[in-house]
Amino acid sequence: MKYIPGLVFCFLLIFTLTGSNLNCIARDTPKGNQLISLHSNVSGNNEFLFPEVLTTKIISGKVFHAGITLVPFPGVTVTFSNLGSVVTNDTGYYSMEVTTPWTGTVTPYYCGYYDFSPILRTYTGLKVDRFDQDFVGTPNPLSFTIYGTITNTEDGLPLENFLVDFGNGYTATTNEQGQYSVGLMPCFSYTLTPASDDYNFNPLSLSYTNVTTDFYEQDYSATPSSYPLPPGWDYVNTGTAHIIAVMPAANPKICGVPLQQGDWLGVFYVGDDGQLHCGGAGMYTGGATSTPVIAQGDDTYTTEKDGFGYAEVMNWKVFSSTTTKQEFIAFPTMEAGGWYKWYPMGLSKVISLPAYKTQNLVIQQGWSGISSYLLPATSLPLKNIPSAAPRSGADSISRILAPILNSLVIVKNLTKTYWPAQNINTIGKWSPTSGYIIKVTAPVTLPIIGCDYSPKTANLISGWNIIPVLSDCNVEIETLFAANLNNIVIIKEIAGSSIYWPAMDIKTLLTFTPGKAYFIAATQNFSVTFPACTAFKDDEVVNPVIKNNSPWNDPVMTPSNHAIALPSSVLNKLMAGDVIGAFTAEGICTGLVQVNDLSHNILLQVFGDDPTTIEKEGYLDNEMMKFKLYRPQSKQEFEIGLEFNAALPSSDGLFTTDGMSAASKIIFDPTYIGENGNPSISFYPNPGNSLIEFVAGDAQRNFRLTILDLTGQKAYETSFSGKTQVDLSDARKGIYIVRIESGNLVKVEKMVIR
């Protein structure tokens, strides 16, 4: 027998309410909610009314988004009056239970930028389920627009009439101005990722959240995704190869900036001419897959070298095709078992490949000033030769100067020294904020490998400084110091004759050159920041060269020098073309200048002795300066004297390192020069190794003898008359300064202990 729900309840009522007139109707709803109506008419005055049991019904449907085709519209709020609201799911479906009989409205809403059809649905006394109660939403406005411009990085011009795929079905074609536009429906979030087989885009994508407005200036730059082999990178496929895979994890970078698809990686061998030549290259894939580089071996059937020799070091470079169009040196780290040198049928994997900028410092023979605008890399192979993995400590002064060690004598700043021959190194690490004084025995080129130093600010103190040039282009002095010209006493070339001396109106030094360093004296502490370079490359600045039109020796230019201004007011007795020179007591010319214009102030730069040599080339501190004049027209030589302006720091006629003097008068008087009858003093042997004998011409006069090393420390001190012997057998080998004093006499000489 079929069970009928609800009948049991009716039967119970029948048994309980005997004698009544009972109607019992039982019915199941589709969801099992029973609707039971019971009516009783009891005889007599007693009346019993049975309550009606309430039930619920379903109102459901879908919301669609209007477009070319209807698609589900998730996230729409559907509100039931006096009941609440529900939100459509991913399929656009909504559902709500209502209690019958229900009267009300159902209204969809989405962010205020959509019109729905129908606007709402109305129900009156609803007693049955209502399915498929659908709505269709149409955006109003139909879309908001993304506007922007796409520029070709190759030429800086708009990328015109080009179809760009932004993903998810959004495309746009640029106009002749490179402008594009993309319409996006309101209130959704989007990420536009431009893509093309021909270009890479920067930025990679742009994102927009809950779009409710137009967007402007949403610009991209487009860089070609493939480029030809860089200039000078041609190589010969010889058929003998060493295969190298640059792994995705290597992530090659130029000073921290990742390479782009289209940049090139190359390996280089040393050719017959001693220069690097490309022996194989590969275009960077962008890091999604490994980049192959096939290193070619030398073809033994040709006379010229056209590839790598057996076990030859592979030098690495990268070329930025996508941005700077420049070449950079790189240093690989190979996976264990890989080779840094070339071998036939060799296999290597590169797991790291940082690349750096290079500033080549061209250093002249002798003394000069150097600096760099690069912060040296801290990890490089020894001597910058990639025969092994990079090692830390590459920013030490000894590692940086290793490529020129055979020609290096000494390098120093105002407080510290690196002197390899004497095993002295108090500098430690190279600093971009320091300028250096250097001496080499031959012209050399020193590579500084690293990345741009920032900030490009030099901090100067009151007194003397060595200022570096923190710029890769020429910098005008008066522009750089525009806000601090009043704080400058003098700027001068290290071991040169060019000078900027505003008080004396002598300005033969007007421009700072990259790679150089300069002496500067300031009246107070201040800072200067080097400006960014312009797009064009500056012409090389050539400082004036001293032309010797006299019979005298060429002065040896050292970093120890004394500036003597010769104002036009003291030149009235001279002729154009005259040459004025400064001389030691031994007759060595230590500085000269030719007077070409009698109406302008000129500079006579005289130089001190070189402490790193045995010979005497210039003045020692506190040595009397003597002067001569040579007249080329008549080939005459005159002894002259200079009287000095007492207002300047150095007015006693004695040489002083970094001294500044100005002549107030030129005296044509042969008796002006001399030691005014001071007795002769000599010592020997020089060079010596133990006992040194000192002899004074006046045996009755008392002399004070002081022997100093080059750091200024006293090695020996005594008093004597006539002659004395000094035992220096325990003294360290090297150069010493001998100072002998008696009354107004001060004699300074150089002595060498072997």
User: Residue 16 falls within a domain, yes or no?
Assistant: no
pLDDT digits (tens, 9 = 90+) for 193-230: 999 888 889 898 999 999 999 999 999 999 888 889 99
CATH number at 97 reads 2.60.40.10
Q: How confident is the model at residue 4 (pLDDT cuts 50, 70, 90)?
A: very low
Q: What is the mean pLDDT of the chain?
A: 88
* Residue 9 predicted with pLDDT over 60: no
User: Residue 545 falls within a domain, yes or no?
Assistant: no
Domain end (from 114, 139, 164): 139
pLDDT digits (tens, 9 = 90+) for 426-484: 999 999 999 999 999 999 999 999 999 999 999 999 999 999 999 999 999 999 999 99
Can you say how many angstroms the Cα of residue 595 is from the centroid of all Cα atoms in its chain? 45
pLDDT digits (tens, 9 = 90+) for 569-616: 999 889 999 999 999 988 999 999 999 999 999 999 999 999 889 899
Q: How confident is the model at residue 723 (pLDDT cuts 50, 70, 90)?
A: confident
Domain end (from 104, 139, 174): 139
Tokens matching residue 615:
């010979």
Query: SS3 of 397, please?
Result: helix
Can you say how many angstroms the Cα of residue 128 is from the centroid of all Cα atoms in its chain? 76
* Residue 175 predicted with pLDDT over 70: yes
pLDDT digits (tens, 9 = 90+) for 119-144: 999 999 999 999 999 999 999 998 99
- What's the confidence (pLDDT) of residue 6? 43
Domain range enclosing 384? 358-452
Distances (CA, A) of 514 to 414, 468, 474, 476, 594: 20, 8, 6, 12, 29
344 and 367, same domain (yes or no): no
Domain end (from 139, 164, 182): 139
347 and 264, same domain (yes or no): yes
> Is the Cβ–Cβ distance between 500 and 477 less than 8 Å?
yes
User: Residue 738 falls within a domain, yes or no?
Assistant: yes
User: Residue 9 falls within a domain, yes or no?
Assistant: no
Whether omega for the bond prior to residue 649 falls within 30 degrees of 0, making it cis, is no
User: What DSSP element (H or E) covers 479?
Assistant: helix 477-480
> Which amino acid is located at 325 in the chain?
K
Tokens matching residue 690:
């133990």
444 and 415, same domain (yes or no): yes
246 and 347, same domain (yes or no): yes
Q: Count CB atoms within 10 A of the CB of residue 464.
A: 15
Query: What is the end-to-end Cα distance of the chain in Å, rounded?
Result: 132
DSSP secondary structure letters along 202-268: ESS-EEESS--S-B----EEEEES--PPPTT------S-EEEEEE-GGG--EETTEEP-BTBEEEEE
Residue with tokens 């005008």: 476
User: Residue 172 falls within a domain, yes or no?
Assistant: yes
User: Residue 26 falls within a domain, yes or no?
Assistant: no
Residues 6+ apart with CB under 8 A from 634: none
422 and 500, same domain (yes or no): no
> Picking from 415-424, 714-723, 728-737, 743-752, which range would have the lowest pLDDT averaged per residue?
743-752
500 and 409, same domain (yes or no): no
Distance separating alpha carbons of residues 550 and 455, to the nearest angstrom: 47
- What's the confidence (pLDDT) of residue 543? 55
Cα radius of gyration rounded to whole Å, the chain: 46
364 and 444, same domain (yes or no): yes
Tokens matching residue 123:
């129900």
Q: What is the mean pLDDT of residues 416-422?
A: 94
CA nearest 620: which of 610, 630, 631? 610
User: Residue 47 falls within a domain, yes or no?
Assistant: no
567 and 492, same domain (yes or no): no
Distance separating alpha carbons of residues 312 and 13, to the nearest angstrom: 109
Q: How many domains does the chain divide into?
A: 7
Burial of 520 (0-12, 13-18, 19+ CB in 10 A): buried
Number of H helices, E strands in the chain: 3, 62
User: Residue 10 falls within a domain, yes or no?
Assistant: no
Distance separating alpha carbons of residues 614 and 343, to the nearest angstrom: 50
* Residue 28 predicted with pLDDT over 80: no
Q: What is the mean pLDDT of residues 77-95?
A: 96
252 and 333, same domain (yes or no): yes
Phi-psi region of 697 (alpha: psi -120 to 50; beta: other; left: phi over 0): alpha
286 and 385, same domain (yes or no): no
Distance separating alpha carbons of residues 160 and 173, to the nearest angstrom: 8
CATH number at 722 reads 2.60.40.3080
118 and 213, same domain (yes or no): no
Distance separating alpha carbons of residues 430 and 450, to the nearest angstrom: 12
* Residue 527 predicted with pLDDT over 70: yes
300 and 398, same domain (yes or no): no
